[in-house]
Amino acid sequence: MSNKPSFWKRIFKRSQDQSNQDSSSNLEMTSESEIKPLDIPSDDPLLTLITTSPGLIEVNKHNIDSPTLDRLRADGVKLVLPLVSQGDLIGLLNLGSRMSEQEYSSDDFHLLNNLATQASPALRVAQLARQQQLEAQERERIIYELQVARLIQETLLPKEIPSSSGWLLDVHWQPAREVGGDFYDFIHLPENRLGILVADVTDKGIPAAMVMATSRSLLREAAERLIEPGKVLAYANDVLHSEIPPKMFVTCLYLVLNLESGEILFSNAGHNPPYLHSKDQVSELIATGMPLGLMPEMDYDQNRATIQPGETLMLSSDGLVEAHNPAYEMFGFPRVQELVRNYEGGDGLIAHLMQNLRTFVGEAYEQEDDITILTIERFEVLDSAVDTYKSVIEKFEGAQVLGEFAIASEPGSERRVAEQVLEVIAPLNLPEERYERLGTAVAEAAMNAMEHGNSFDPKKNVEINVLADEHQVTISITDQGGSSNIPKTTQPDLEAKLDGEQPTRGWGMFLIKNMVDEMNIIQTEDRHTIELLMHYGDGGV
Amino acid sequence: MTADKFSATVRNSDDNAIIDLFGSMNALADDVLSKAFEEAARFNPNTILLNFSAVDYINSTGIALIVELLAKARKNQWEVGVFGLSDHYLQIFRLTRLSDFMEIYQNESSALLT
């Protein structure tokens, strides 16, 4: 018999009283509530007796020092029938006196031994089925816990990314299958400042989600009250140290961005340093400090930097740098730094990093940890609509106005815009293929202007201007979308969309950019203009 | 102005379910396309063929709906093929890389030959 305590320690017996009850009571007797578990100590000689003498045991004929046998004897058990399956003791069938009060006969013994032979496999199957049922319940419990943890995590993340004239903020948050503890937050502060944090809680599942919830509310409250990143992290560290379980901690990068000057004030509690990308250079913004919750009364460096127009600051969690490829090589800081350095714009820094990560880890990659990448990009803002107008006039000096019109922002009107534009430019005799491409680009740009710029407010018009010179036609489509930013044009990741990792939508800007020879976005305080340029090609005027 | 109407019919040919599409593929096509896919799924096909011969307009939301249909088909391990695309929309299918994930045929008979 193999030594499997879980199998033999819970063996059931019937009590003497129960075995003597009438048939109606026997039904009750067999109910699970009246079956008492019998625990046999591992050193009880009864176990040796069972393994060395297979078959029935007559309780009163064995004089061994067995506490279990004594207890069975006291309960009136006369016969013990071991149930053995594949060498394992899986149960005992305990019998009291015969109801006729006669002794058990040799025929009875024979019958009972046959019964044990046949009942044992059936009991074993039942036990395995029960075990599988319990394991399935455990799996369901774990899945439920993961769902709860994921829900907590998602509920706490900001619903919207803040937008401000001259700034483009973007976030990629990709949780691992086993819920990790990444989170990020934006805190609006007085004097046109924005608090931005990226943090990572050690551990996974519900414990990480709970610490994340505590940390987030603590940091948010401290950020609004104390403003300065160093003080915010020092306060959060002291409170978390006394509140979170030992060995758990939180790494956190917190910065305060002045949206007017571009100056940032930042502190770091053991988190990945942010990278500042400028043209073909990258710099690491260093500030030292211990992770939150490890040791009390810590000081945190507080340093300054400035994000100039054209520069991008990138914050990330260690899920990015610690991703492994099949050869177990890490993506690593040097690679991330190099990718940030050679980023040439266009598709967005996040897309640039994620595309390279996917290539590095390969198709069989199973994400080990949450990945969070947050980018803060600053760009030039023209001060007013007058500047926009001037720039257009300067750029197209000598151009002829072919058409100027406005259309109310209503769903479906984009095709009307495209049809009107194509009608206006028909005399230019563009090749058919260019003509159709321009139609698609105009329809998409008009749809964006109506939906995202004017929120389909029928009182807000989309204005269209068509200019032509000897080389090209230029269509300007302008909405009244306020200071929100037009998202950067990125190459949609079709694999990710097909795998459900990204929304299926998000093709508009990509289509526009690729349908025309040149696309420009001009943003003022209260308007966006998309400018579409198309050369005439071989068949032009 | 062109009316933004969309409709679809579904038919069966051997192991293929053919969805004939009519009109403009934009946000308004969502429900019709979903129902057409469900109907096509009832044939448990090896391949779903989308007939674009009578589609005069596809915008970016229409592209998203095609991606959605393709994703659902892939989950069921069904191939997706298309035919009847104009040169312009064929160019868009290549640009968006949809053509990497679905076979593109000249017409219905060439689609059914393979």
Q: Where exactly are the structural domains of chain B? A: 10-113
Higher pLDDT, A194 or A472: A194
Do A215 and A226 meet the contact criterion of CB atoms below 8 Å apart?
no
Please name the amino acid found at residue A442: V
Kindly tell me if the per-residue pLDDT of A479 is higher than 60.
yes
Per-residue pLDDT tens for A207-261? 888 898 899 999 999 999 999 999 999 999 999 999 888 889 999 999 999 999 9
Kindly tell me if the per-residue pLDDT of A513 is higher than 90.
yes
Comparing CB atoms, the residue among A412, A443, A500 nearest residue B71 is A500
CA gap A149, A458 in Å, rounded = 43
| B87 neighbourhood in chain A, CB within 8 Å | 433
Cβ of A506 and B100 within 8 Å?
no
The listed range with the strongest mean pLDDT (A67-71, A491-495, B41-45) is B41-45
User: Which residues are bridge partners to B78 per DSSP?
Assistant: none
Going by C-beta distance under 8 Å and a sequence separation of 6 or more, which residues neighbour residue B38? Answer: none
Among all chains, which residue has been given the structure tokens 């007797």?
Answer: A29
Kindly tell me if the per-residue pLDDT of A343 is higher than 70.
yes
Average pLDDT of every residue of chain A: 83
User: Which residues are bridge partners to A519 per DSSP?
Assistant: A532
CA gap A489, A515 in Å, rounded = 13
A157-378, superfamily in CATH? PPM-type phosphatase domain (3.60.40.10)
Do A99 and A108 meet the contact criterion of CB atoms below 8 Å apart?
no
Cβ of B59 and A492 within 8 Å?
no
Per-residue pLDDT tens for A40-67? 888 888 888 887 777 888 888 888 888 8
Kindly tell me if the per-residue pLDDT of A381 is higher than 70.
no
Please name the amino acid found at residue B97: R
Confidence bin at A6 (pLDDT 50/70/90): very low
DSSP for residue A450: I
pLDDT value at position A347?
Answer: 60
pLDDT value at position B84?
Answer: 95
Among all chains, which residue has been given the structure tokens 């319940």?
Answer: A137
Do A89 and A1 meet the contact criterion of CB atoms below 8 Å apart?
yes
Kindly tell me if the per-residue pLDDT of A540 is higher than 70.
no
Among all chains, which residue has been given the structure tokens 């990448």?
Answer: A373
Token duo for residue A252: 């956190």
What stretches of A154-249 adopt beta strand conformation (E)? 167-174, 182-189, 193-201
CA gap A522, A168 in Å, rounded = 14
Token duo for residue A515: 């349908």
CA gap A129, A112 in Å, rounded = 25
Cβ of A494 and B67 within 8 Å?
yes
- Report the CATH fold assignment for A5-132: Beta-Lactamase (3.30.450)
Q: Using CA atoms of A157, A158, A159, A163 in order, give the dihedral in degrees to the nearest 10.
A: -150
Mean pLDDT for A6-16 is 32
Token duo for residue B9: 């019919």
Do A336 and A353 meet the contact criterion of CB atoms below 8 Å apart?
yes
pLDDT value at position A285?
Answer: 96
What residue spans define the domains of chain A?
5-132, 157-378, 385-535
Q: Structurally, what CATH architecture does the domain formed by B10-113 represent?
A: 2-Layer Sandwich (3.30)
pLDDT value at position A154?
Answer: 78
- Residue A541 near chain B (CB below 8 Å): no
CA gap A234, B46 in Å, rounded = 62
Higher pLDDT, A364 or A40: A40
Instruction: Give the residue on A whose Cα is nearest the Cα of B5.
Output: A412
CA gap A73, A16 in Å, rounded = 10
Is B113 in a helix, a strand, or coil?
helix
- Residue A414 near chain B (CB below 8 Å): yes
Q: Which of B30, B55, B59 to mutate to test the interface with A (most CBs of A within 10 A)?
A: B59
Mean pLDDT for B39-55 is 94
CA atoms A207, A213, A214, A218: torsion sign: positive
Mean pLDDT for A334-352 is 83
Mean pLDDT for A480-497 is 79
Mean pLDDT for A435-451 is 94
Q: Among residues of chain A, what percentage have pLDDT more than 70?
A: 87
Token duo for residue B13: 């040919």
Average pLDDT of every residue of chain B: 92
Q: Which of A456, A494, A515 to mutate to test the interface with B (most CBs of B within 10 A)?
A: A494
CA gap A158, A169 in Å, rounded = 13
A385-535, superfamily in CATH? Histidine kinase-like ATPase, C-terminal domain (3.30.565.10)
Mean pLDDT for A113-124 is 88
pLDDT value at position A4?
Answer: 33
Comparing CB atoms, the residue among A416, A498, A504 nearest residue B101 is A498
Strands of A281-284's sheet in order across: A167-174, A371-378, A312-316, A275-278, A281-284
Residue ranges of chain B whose CB lies within 8 Å of a chain A CB: 1-2, 4, 24, 26-28, 57, 59-61, 63-65, 67-68, 70-71, 74, 87-88, 91-92, 95-98, 100-101
- Name the nearest CA neighbour of A95 among A117, A118, A79: A79
- Dmax (CA) for chain A in angstroms is 123
Mean pLDDT for A168-192 is 86
Among all chains, which residue has been given the structure tokens 């003080």?
Answer: A231
CA atoms A315, A322, A344, B88: torsion sign: negative
